[in-house]
Amino acid sequence: MTKIIGLTGGIGSGKTTIANYLHSLGLQIYIADEEARKLMQTPEILTYIKNTFGATVFVNGKLAREKLAKIVFNEPKQLKKLNSIIHPAVKTHFKEWLSQNTAAEFIFYEAAILFESGNYKNCDYIITVTAPIETRIARVIARDKTDREEVLRRINAQWTDEERIAKSDFAIENCDLKIAKDQIDEILKILRIKQKHR
């Protein structure tokens, strides 16, 4: 039976790099944040967002993600509202995707807010990816062309590494990619042994 492995980590931890490595090994990965971005462009979700946050988060009829991010990452209540729109849509989409991948030994479900969304409950095992805070800040500034203050706001809106690790089966520190890949290889060995002995 297919096992669902949750893959999570805070912003800038490098979990997408780990997901890409898993994908290169021929494993099936569902990138929840990527799918959420696509779903946010569907007419139904756009209507929900407009009704909830107003027309100010739209420019020329298109969703201005930066404007929406500024609202939700500054106000926990607003973030909760956005999540209540996006999470059910992602959950439904994942179920459909899962039904088409039932032959896979493992399915990796990659999500930044795996715990906050409650989706960790659907996972058989969980891997948390970590990195030192300064490394994370530098990565996000380089990737999103944003500033330190904004990155810290987003980090503070998520669970801490300690909170995630306490609820995870495995943890990987992703500073040196080669070492991180070795850790993943080791985890896959353990998971395959567990599968055989079930």
- Binding-site residue numbers are 12-17
Beta strands per DSSP E along 53-95: 58-59, 62-63
Tokens of 160: 């801490």
User: Residue 173 and residue 111: Cα distance in Å, rounded?
Assistant: 17
For residue 54, how far is the Cα from the chain centroid?
A: 26
102 burial (CB, 10 Å; 0-12 / 13-18 / 19+) is: exposed
Residues contacting 176, CB < 8 A, separation 6+:
none
Residues 93 and 122: their CA atoms lie apart, in Å, by: 14
- H or E element that contains 110: strand 106-110
Annotated binding site for ATP: 12-17
| Cβ atoms of residues 124 and 3 within 8 Å | yes
